[in-house]
Amino acid sequence: SGTAAASGMGWALWGVGLLLALYTLLRHGLRSAPRPPARPELRGRTAIVTGGSSGIGAATALELARCGARVILATRSARRGEAAASRIRRETGNNEVRFMHLDLASLRSVRAFASTFLRQEPQLHLLINNAGVSAGGTTEDGFSLPFQVNHLGHFLLTQLLLERLRSCAPSRVVIVASSAHCAGRLRPKSLGQPPSGLFATFQDYCDSKLANVLHARELATREQGTQVTCYAVHPGFVNTSLFQHAPLWLKPLLLPLAWLLFLDASEGAQPVLDCATRDGLEPLSGRYFTDCGPRLPWPAGRDDRLARALWEGSERLAGL
């Protein structure tokens, strides 16, 4: 029986070794190698990064600070925001990094942030609308959480800061979208109301990401001639806290996938940084980008009538 046990142990070790080898092959074969390019000098330029205390936002803020920009981490938790700002200052030697409170799930908070920012900061060159949630309930304003945090809060924030972006032009707005916009369905008459059905949570997220793509498109149209340009970007499938809101039954499927195939935050930040800093992107304002550059979004993401209806509906919901 000792021989059988040893044999069983041998098979188990062999199996584990095989799995590890397979994991390594898959991980390095299916993921593109990170390619952090040289970034331009950003001294004298001011950037806001929403959700800048963790994930893609923190990685983006770190790189912008490294290039010399003044960076405002606009995030909900003061504890995490201050800690992230302090860490970025330490890592980059750039003392122009500060936290400012912003809760996108509250339109009141968005207005308060914009008012404080405009009073305290004379310049704005880069607005990175990055913060996002994948699921949740209803906000204090009565809208679905993903729709408000991912789209409506950012829409209001952009509108309130637009005059400052124009006066500091050339300036850019970068909206972190997702390829999940492919499954988005926006109905202007029920904008902001959570969808129903078995996959309502997933649908809600996809709808908000379609709104991101259309927001960039319509903003670019409206800002022609002002030197404010706008880009929607899919950062890739990134292993961030975005999935903490996923339904319990889905987590056992998502977590191994995330571990195996998803990018880390600094890799996901690269296409966002490309849209924020790469020279010569101005003629591509309003376009949708991935890590491979500009791509055609899915048909709904190219629907100009829907983009206009979303804009007008968003103005109404945000009280503009």
Please give the positions annotated as active site: 205
φ, ψ for residue 308 (rounded to 5)? -70, -40
Q: What are the residue ranges of helices labelled H in the chain?
A: 2-30, 55-66, 78-92, 107-120, 145-146, 153-167, 200-222, 251-261, 265-277, 304-317
Tell me the one-letter amino acid at 260.
Answer: L
Q: Which helix (H) or strand (E) holds 128?
A: strand 126-129
Sheet order of strands, 46-50 included: 97-101, 70-75, 46-50, 126-129, 171-176, 228-233, 288-290, 293-295
Which residue in the block uniquely carries the two structure tokens 């050339």?
Answer: 170
DSSP output for 134-199: S---B-TTSSBHHIIIIIIHHHHHHHHHHHHHHHT-SEEEEEE--GGGGG----GGGTTSPP-STT
Q: Is 126 exposed, middle or buried (0-12, 13-18, 19+ CB in 10 A)?
A: buried
